[in-house]
Amino acid sequence: MFRVLLIPVLALVTSLALGALVMLLFGDDPILAYQGLFQGAFGSGRAWSSTIRKMIPLILTGLSVAVAFKAGLFNIGASGQFVMGSVFSVAVGIHFEGLPMYIHLPMAILAGMLGGMIWGAIPGFLKVTTGAHEVIVTIMLNYVAALFGGWTVYAGGTQGQTPGPLWDPTARAISETPDVLHSAQIPWIFGPPYRVHFGVLLALLAVLIIWWLIYKTTIGFEIRTVGQNPKAARYAGIRVEKTVVLTMAIAGGLAGLAGTIETLGLNHKFAPEFGGQVGFDGITVALLGQTHPVGVVFASFLFGALDAGAAKMQFESGVAADIIQVIQALVLAFVAAPLIIKALFRLRSTQDDRHSASLNTSWGGS
């Protein structure tokens, strides 16, 4: 267990040290910068609430990538699945006026998860039927999802084009939906100025469910077996094709849930730029958390803190907030290539370290 945690911890420490070196090269004070970062993430109740809000979608997109990894699949499509979850949940959330919250809110959440599941199942289905690599397909579907989301809120034009079906004609911005109805909004745990909603509990519940599914059920055993050796899994009677499609659907549903919670709990509407890098950050979170649900929570907390503290760091020290993305990229590089960390710290490789290499392989891939 100690060795499993050692590489991510050393990767983080090394990334922070290199980030400090970059600051020094540009004449900035890394101590002042990191003090501002800490204050922005943990220095007050509002800082803590910002960290928690940032970690919620990271938990779910990290779980999405981690579940796919367990089956030897690389889900690069969390961003697109995130968008589809948001669009589907908004479509339900702005309609069905008059429904009570205990019916309307679950409907919107399930719709968002369904949107993500559909978008995740497509590359899984294409993989088992045509051999199309899930990395290529999920990347392409990210663009399709972004364009689809933009179309739903298209504002029309001067030539009489038809506006998108979810466009809000009263919006000051030209491309966004109306706010979802109050009955479809996730309620606050702590209201303004903290703005922490019950989505954090849904994310933690998802962690428990995925842990139970992967490690305590027959489905989870089949997923892990396919990921470790698909030929042996097939010989043992496991339907590999079904497992691949199911795994990608589950992964998509988790990313869709991330978009759903962000929409219903925080933004209450959808706009084309919604989501940002959270889908790709889920890859780093999954790797840093060693693809374990509990590890994903801690990695999400760390990355949420980095994101939450970036603005305060820039304000206090003048260091550009973009340095946080540099640090996150370094963490990803070091965790994905643990031999670098082993060489830097003169760590001895063991047979258990082969697990890291398995993260870079994919069932049926070349």
Q: Give the DSSP letter string of 198-210.
A: THHHHHHHHHHHH
**What proportions of the chain, in percent to the nearest 5, are helix, strand and coil?**
70, 0, 30
Mean pLDDT of the 97-111 span = 97
Residue 229 three-state SS:
coil
Cα angle 321, 316, 324; round to 5 = 20
Q: What is the pLDDT of residues 292-341, one digit of tens each?
A: 999 999 999 999 999 999 999 999 888 888 899 899 889 888 888 888 88
Tell me whether residue 251 is exposed, middle or buried, using C-beta atoms within 10 angstroms of its C-beta: 0 to 12, 13 to 18, 19 or more: buried
Residue type, 101: M
Q: Nearest Cα to 304, choosing from 56, 28, 22, 11?
A: 56
**Is pLDDT above 80 for 70?**
yes
DSSP, collapsed to helix, strand or coil, labels residue 189 as strand
CA–CA dist 127, 77 (Å, integer): 14
Give the closest residue to 62 by CA, choosing from 243, 210, 174. 210
State residue 128's pLDDT score: 96
| Whether the Cβ atoms of residue 202 and residue 261 lie closer than 8 Å to each other | yes
Tell me the β-bridge partners of 197: 188
Question: Percentage of residues in the chain with pLDDT exceeding 90?
Answer: 70
pLDDT tens digit sequence for 229-239: 999 999 999 99
Looking at residue 275, what is its pLDDT? 73
Instruction: Name the least confident of 6-10, 103-107, 186-190, 279-283.
Output: 6-10
Supply the DSSP symbol for 182: G
- Is pLDDT at 361 greater than 50 in this prediction? no
- For residue 188, list its beta bridge partners: 197
Residue 168, pLDDT score: 87
Considering the chain, what percentage of its residues have pLDDT values greater than 70? 91
Number of neighbours of residue 365 by Cβ within 10 angstroms:
14
- The pLDDT of residue 339 is 83
Contact 59, 203 (CB under 8 A): yes
Cα of first residue to Cα of last residue in the chain, in angstroms, is 31
**Sign of dihedral through CA atoms 329, 335, 340, 343?**
positive
Average pLDDT for 243-247 = 98
Interacting residues of 172 by C-beta distance below 8 A, sequence separation 6+? none
Please, are residues 362 and 134 in contact by the beta-carbon 8 Å criterion?
Answer: yes
**Does 158 have pLDDT greater than 60?**
no
**CB atoms closer than 10 angstroms to residue 205:** 10
For 62, residues 6+ apart whose C-beta sits below 8 A from its C-beta are: 282, 285, 286, 289, 296, 299, 300
